[in-house]
Amino acid sequence: MKHSLLHNLLCEHNGQRVIAYRSATPLTLRQLQTDCAHLVTRLKAHQARDFAIVCDEPWSMLVALLSCHQADKHAILPSNLQPKNWPSYRLKWPLISNIDAALHHNDVAVEIGSKQALEVDFSPLDGSACGLSLFTSGSSGEPTQISKTLQLLEREAQELQQQFCSDEPVTRVTASVAHNHIYGLLFRVVWPLLANRPFDCGLIEHEEALMLQLTKQTLFVASPAFLERLGQMEQLQGQCHSVFSSGGPLSFEAVESCSKRLQCRPIEVYGSTETGGIAFRQRQHANQPWQAFSCVELAIHNQCLVVRSPYIEAAYFATKDQVELQDSNLFSLVGRQDRIVKIAEKRVSLDEIELALKQSSLVDDCAALAVTQGKQLRIVCAVALSEEGKQHYASQGHSWLWRELRKCLSGLLEPVALPRKIKVVGFIPRNSQFKLDLAAIKELFHD
């Protein structure tokens, strides 16, 4: 049995160790132990076995997660914490929450900051027996529930520390990503705790908030969506220890903006909820390949990447990402297998259509979809125009834009596979991980 490193913290006597900050207020290990003691007592008296953790900040989530395990409960971290989803979660599980409005009679409140100590004997726990359920982003369909253990997460955090440790100290970890997805949970909470790096409970949502946090000792766990906006943050100028990005695609323009604004190039991490981290890169040029983590083995089956990793319990996991292997541990992403469709017996890559359109100076962002019209499958595109594109569109009109964009695709697609409709929109719907929100994009074409 290998004891969970996170649960070992609850058994430590170094109570004054600062493990997090809420604004400028330090939160100590003793406070974590006290908050967990109160919640463990309430959970042990509850008959339910599984609980959904609906907490809007990482400290409360951490208290809920560890308390579940100490009370021999299973923790579930839903992917969407918006109030409209609470009733559907409650149909399956009672909630643990720090949000008063989320709590009903069978739910359990997370009460933090208590000064009243409780006598609770925390137990060292087997990390492989500390279960939790996470959810995929749902960018290509409904979110899928994925079972994990603390042992797997802690193993990955140790690999991250080994791969990215440096002589320069990190005094605070701040983030623009939510704590209830695997990327935020791992990089924002688990890794900092095991590396003795205090994490910030606040969420960076705008330029001013990041400016207040910037120091040479700040590690920034960023969302691709936030980094894509750096070029517009003209007042932002500072220096970070390091910047990480994961969960969605990142343009090379955003990489360059990060280098300019924060004095460091982002470390991109490729992986998934199912696999954990697979590979990383810190790009000096746009097409720099991905490098697999040293503990991850790569293979290809049906043109798609297959991984063997200590972060998954199965022997192998077959992804839906098409890749080109350049070496045993280097590869380039080609596109998603589920983004390839057949139009009039011709294989068409929706990713390639989007890439080709983005090469046009008229286009800022775009999304390609295959939709059924009558009995036939057709390609449609939503396009957000650049400033140049908006000027031409205003003077030349939609027919002109249609012709110009089809020219971008004429060498890529046969005429039968060219988009049948191009819709100009103000922005392309994306989720917090900067992945296409396919459901919202489909709604654009329902008129």
pLDDT tens readout for residues 250-287: 889 999 999 999 999 999 999 999 999 999 999 999 99
Residue 140 has pLDDT above 60, yes or no: no
Spatial strand order in the sheet of 74-76: 108-109, 95-97, 50-54, 74-76, 131-135, 145-149
pLDDT of residue 315: 82
Q: Are 127 and 149 in contact (CB under 8 A)?
A: yes
* CB contact set of 317 (below 8 Å; sequence gap of 6+): 274, 275, 306, 307, 308, 309
Q: Per residue, what are the HEC states of 324-352?
A: EECCCCEEEEEEEHHHEEEECCEEEEHHH
Tokens representing residue 89 in the block: 């979660």
**Chain Cα centroid distance, residue 373:** 34
Rounded-to-integer distance, Cα 49 and Cα 73, Å: 5
Q: Which residue segments constitute the domains of the chain, with CATH numbers given?
A: 5-148 (3.40.50.12780), 204-338 (3.40.50.12780), 344-443 (3.30.300.30)
pLDDT tens readout for residues 369-426: 988 877 778 889 999 999 999 999 999 999 999 999 988 888 777 787 788 889 999 9
Residue entry with tokens 């590396």: 195
pLDDT of residue 443: 86
Its sign, for the CA torsion 408, 410, 411, 416, is: positive
Confidence of residue 178 (pLDDT cuts 50, 70, 90): very high
Q: Are 382 and 370 in contact (CB under 8 A)?
A: no
Q: Are 220 and 199 in contact (CB under 8 A)?
A: no
Confidence of residue 54 (pLDDT cuts 50, 70, 90): very high
Confidence of residue 447 (pLDDT cuts 50, 70, 90): low
pLDDT tens readout for residues 288-345: 999 999 999 999 988 889 999 999 988 899 998 989 999 889 999 987 777 778 776 6
Rounded-to-integer distance, Cα 253 and Cα 240, Å: 19
Rounded-to-integer distance, Cα 302 and Cα 63, Å: 43
Give the burial string for 388-421 (b: 16+ CB within 10 Å, else e): ebeebbeeeeeeebeebbeebbeeebeeebbbee
Q: Are 369 and 438 in contact (CB under 8 A)?
A: yes
Rounded-to-integer distance, Cα 272 and Cα 284, Å: 24
Query: What DSSP letter does each residue of 223-251 carry, written as one string?
Result: -HHHHHTGGG-TT-----SEEEEESS---
Q: Are 156 and 276 in contact (CB under 8 A)?
A: yes
Comparing CA positions, the residue from 377, 371, 363, 372 lying closest to residue 428 is 363
Instruction: Work out the number of other CB atoms within 10 angstroms of the CB of residue 438.
Output: 16
